[in-house]
Each structure stands twice: as C-alpha cells, then as structure tokens.
Amino acid sequence: MVAKPIPKKVKNLDAVFNPDSIAVIGASREPNKIGHVIVKNFIDGGFAGRIYPINPRAEDILGLRAYKSVLDIKEKVDSAVIAVPAAAVAPVLEECGKKGIRGVVLITGGFSEVGNSEAEKKLAEIANRYDIALIGPNCMGVITPGSRVDSVFLPIYKLGRPRVGNISFISQSGAVGGCIVDLAARAGIGMSKFVSYGNAAAIDECDLLEYLYHDPDTKIIVAYLEGVKKGKRFLEVAKRITRKKPIVVLKAGRSAAGAEAARSHTGSLAGASEAYSAAFKQANVIEAQTLEQLFDFAKIFDQVLPSGRRIGIITNGGGMGVLATDALADEGLALSQLSDETQKLLRASLPPYANVRNPLDIIGDADSHRYEIAINAMMKDESVDVIMLIILFQTAGIDSSVVNIAIRASDLRKKPIISVCSGGEYTEMHKRILESYGVPTYVSPTSAMRSISRFIKYAEHYSKYNTAHSVLQAEKERQ
C-alpha cells in the first residue's frame, strides 16, 4: 500500500509545535487579558525563540517591542497565536498568510460553535489558500514541553505543565484538555505535545493524528473526542496508525445516542456510541470509558511491548496479591507458572516463610533487596511476560531505595514493569517519582490489570500485523 503524501498544511504543523519565532496577535498590557497571559507564558516558560507581541496601540509589552502588524516585522516568523475579537480575525489571518507564517493557533471563539459557520468557512478558505496549519478557532492552544511552546492562556501557577515525555494528547474540548494536562503534570506523566483543537476549521482530528503518526517524538497518541468530522476517514487513518503507534480515545457524548425512537430491533440497539465503539475496535483504537482510564491506558505504553499474556506478580502484602489475581482473572489474563529453577533460586535467597509461587509474596517485612532478588528472578524466567510490582510503602522495611530498583529494572527494557502503589501522601510521593521515570504506576491492582490487558491486546495486534508485514516484505524482496 502506497501512503498518500501528507498535505502541506499538515506538514506545517511543525511550525505550530516547534517554531523558532512566534507572533502573539492581540498581545495585551493588561494582566487579566488572554493576550497578556500568552506572552507571559512564552517568556516564563523559557521559550528560546523570538517573541513578537502584536498590538496596534502599544510600544512594548512585558519588555518586548510590540508591532502594529506581523507585516511590520522584518525577520521571518514561523508561527502566530491569535487572540483578537472574532470580527478582527479574518484580516489578521490574511496578514499571517502574506507574511509567510506557516502555523497559527486561533484562540478566539464566536464561530461555528455559536452558529457563525460562514465566518468560520472564510477562515478555513484563507488558511487553505496559504497552506497555513490553522488550529482552532475556539481552542485553548498548544503546549510542546520539549520546545517550550505554550500558547495555553491559563496561568502556569494555576495549570501545571507536564514534563517532556512521549505521549501526545489532542483534545476537542479546551476545558477537559486543560484538566487532563493539569492532572498528568501532577501525576508526573510526560507529554510530547498537547493540542486543544476546538472547532477544527482547517486542521481536524485526522490531520493531527496523521501528523503525530509521522512525529518521531510521539510514541503514544491520546485523544479526547466529542465527535469526528468524517467517520470513514477517521477509521482509515486510525487503522493505519495503530499498526505502528497506539491510540487511546475517550469518546464523550455517549448517552445522547439512542434518544431517537427507532423502528427496527437493530435501530433500537444501535446508537451513535455503538458506531464509535465499533469503529474503534476495527481500527484497534483503545477506548477509555473515563478520564482516569485515558491516561491509565496511555502511560503503560512507555514500557516495552509484552511478548505474551502471562503475568508475574511480586508483592509485600498477601492480600494485594489476591486482589491482583482476581483482577487478572476478570481480564482473562494468565498467571505465570514460575519454573522450578526460579523457585529453587527464590527459596535459597528469600526467608523460609516466603511463598515462592506466583503471586510471589515476599512478606510484609520485605526490604528493597528482597524486591531486587524477586525482580531479577522474574526477569530471567521465560514464563513471565509482564512483571507487576506491588509495593506497599506503609511497611517498616520499605524505604525509597525500592524506587531505584524498580526504575533500573524498567530501564533494562527487557520486560514491561508495571507497579501498584496504594496509599496516602508518602505513597503518592514515590508514585510520582516512579511515574516520572516512565514506570507506569497504579492505585489499585484492578486499574493496573485493566491497563495491562489493553496493553497486551495491542501488543498482540502489533506483532500480528508487523510479523505478517515483514514476511510479505521479505517475500517481495526475494522475487
């Protein structure tokens, strides 16, 4: 299958996410104005490129020289953020086109979301004429932690910014997107890109997916959707992407479906949510049902893909092992049968009262060293495809060094390591550290197992497709 060339406007999203220079159109001197917060966030966030505030009535803003129009700037400008009133948007967008600006984030609302579709069509027409990658209108902006691009108009002290990572997150809703970014930042989850894309006048969810598919900094794609613009195209694009990168989606607006009276049985059983779920299944998109699940499912993909569905469980609390086993059964996963060799080794190194079967209970008096022995044993054992590390930080024997052991094991990238830490503030602190070093950490065995099962299902699909593909490829080369 020959891939279609990527449209120029989609390629130009580079200018949105990684610009060398940026104009803020509608920059303001008043601290409560959006146009002020955006300039301030670029400065405070440490953006290394040039920042050009645009304001026809100001000499300087936050110490930077202000310009009347982007056309007055002599140097090249890659990207612009627009936050002027709706009526003033079209002319400044036109100026961006003339200036050769390739990427625009249009914050301003008051278009199709309030029935003003004509004005929005005109914006799309301008953007398409100049091949501008136009995000919005009616959106909250873009964050690229790596290049310190941050056009989100919420103050940094109110909305935490995530560390650099490899999850990219697209959100139709600005409010929900903002919340999730804030939560991810606090949990220690890293992001490559965040984009709130609003009304999607010129760049829609499929364009963004297409861009992220080709983006080397994105390993995992997360999407919050209320609807897609073109169902069939979404299905085609998503199906192609999931062969290489996982997509996790939360589709909102499930309940509105089925309200309309249907006449046949199928009609009464099929609402819009069934259509979406069916499409997600066919495209191997991982569907989350709640906000919590969205990043629970996504963050696990930081780990190497598992080669099977057998789980090895290590715990310092027997009860947690039982809960994990229940959750494992609910998800249809298998418990590893530890080899005789592993059991012998464990019996020799662990205290005699430890249970050397799976779940491997290293007992409430376990210290970090015992975790190390257990992890090493499971790393070597062929019967273990995924290691679940349950750490109860409440016990006397456990200290912070167990975190290093877990991170080191995860960094080997031999087998996926997933940890479960349930508890209060002390536990949370360690959970954040684990998370920020790429060890996905869950509050309960249930939520961990649920994520593991999505992970395994994706891995099965991935290897099935890619094995078949490489066989075909090799056959072609032989001919």
Partner 1 sequence: MDFSLLSKYGIPFAPFKIAKSLPDALSASKEIGFPVVMKAISPQALHKSDIGGVILGIGDAKEAEGAYKTLEQRFSGMKLEGVLVQKMLGRGKNTVELIVGGKRDAQFGQLIMLGMGGVFVEVYRDVAFRVCPIGNDDAIEMIHELKSFPILMGARGRKPANISSLASALVRVSRLLEKENPSEFDINPLLVDEHGCVAVDVRLL
Name the site residues for partner 1 (rule: CB under 8 A).
Answer: 227-228, 230-232, 235, 262-270, 272, 274-279, 281-282
Taking the complex as a whole, the smallest distance from the CB of residue 279 to partner 1 amounts, in Å, to 5
Partners of 421 in beta bridges: none
Bridging pattern class, strands 141-144 and 191-196:
antiparallel
Q: 114: which DSSP letter? A: G
Nearest to 248 by CA among 356, 342, 329, 170: 170
Taking the complex as a whole, the smallest distance from the CB of residue 448 to partner 1 amounts, in Å, to 24
Taking the complex as a whole, the smallest distance from the CB of residue 264 to partner 1 amounts, in Å, to 4
Nearer to partner 1 among residue 264 and residue 479 (C-beta): 264
Q: How many CB atoms lie within 10 A of CB 131?
A: 16
Location of structure tokens 């060799």: 341
Taking the complex as a whole, the smallest distance from the CB of residue 229 to partner 1 amounts, in Å, to 9
Taking the complex as a whole, the smallest distance from the CB of residue 459 to partner 1 amounts, in Å, to 17
Nearer to partner 1 among residue 272 and residue 291 (C-beta): 272
Nearer to partner 1 among residue 49 and residue 465 (C-beta): 465
Q: Which amino acid is at 98?
A: K
Taking the complex as a whole, the smallest distance from the CB of residue 247 to partner 1 amounts, in Å, to 16
Nearer to partner 1 among residue 14 and residue 274 (C-beta): 274
Taking the complex as a whole, the smallest distance from the CB of residue 214 to partner 1 amounts, in Å, to 25
Nearer to partner 1 among residue 156 and residue 270 (C-beta): 270
Q: 209: which DSSP letter? A: H
Kindly tell me the number of DSSP H helices and DSSP E strands found in the chain: 17, 20
Nearer to partner 1 among residue 186 and residue 229 (C-beta): 229
Question: 316 near 466, Cβ under 8 Å?
Answer: no
Nearer to partner 1 among residue 228 and residue 390 (C-beta): 228
Nearer to partner 1 among residue 214 and residue 240 (C-beta): 240
Nearer to partner 1 among residue 32 and residue 264 (C-beta): 264
First and final C-alpha spacing in the chain: 18
Nearer to partner 1 among residue 4 and residue 263 (C-beta): 263
Burial label, 59 (beta-carbon count in 10 A; 0-12, 13-18, 19+): exposed
Nearest to 300 by CA among 180, 420, 173: 420
Location of structure tokens 């003003």: 116
What are φ and ψ of residue 477, in 5° steps?
-65, -35
Nearer to partner 1 among residue 370 and residue 454 (C-beta): 454
Burial label, 292 (beta-carbon count in 10 A; 0-12, 13-18, 19+): middle
Question: 252 near 273, Cβ under 8 Å?
Answer: no
Question: 39 near 53, Cβ under 8 Å?
Answer: yes
Which residues, in sequence order, are CB contacts of 226 under 8 Å at separation 6+? 172, 173, 251, 252, 253
CA dihedral 433, 435, 440, 445 (to 10 degrees): 60
Nearer to partner 1 among residue 91 and residue 231 (C-beta): 231
Taking the complex as a whole, the smallest distance from the CB of residue 230 to partner 1 amounts, in Å, to 8
Taking the complex as a whole, the smallest distance from the CB of residue 180 to partner 1 amounts, in Å, to 24
Taking the complex as a whole, the smallest distance from the CB of residue 449 to partner 1 amounts, in Å, to 20
Partners of 389 in beta bridges: 314, 419
Taking the complex as a whole, the smallest distance from the CB of residue 257 to partner 1 amounts, in Å, to 10
Cis peptide before 416 (omega within 30 of 0): no
Taking the complex as a whole, the smallest distance from the CB of residue 253 to partner 1 amounts, in Å, to 12
Cα–Cα distance measured from residue 301 to residue 245, given in angstroms and rounded to the nearest whole number: 9
Burial label, 479 (beta-carbon count in 10 A; 0-12, 13-18, 19+): exposed
What is the DSSP secondary-structure string of 298-345?
HHGGGSPPPSSSEEEEEESSHHHHHHHHHHHHHTT-EE----HHHHHH
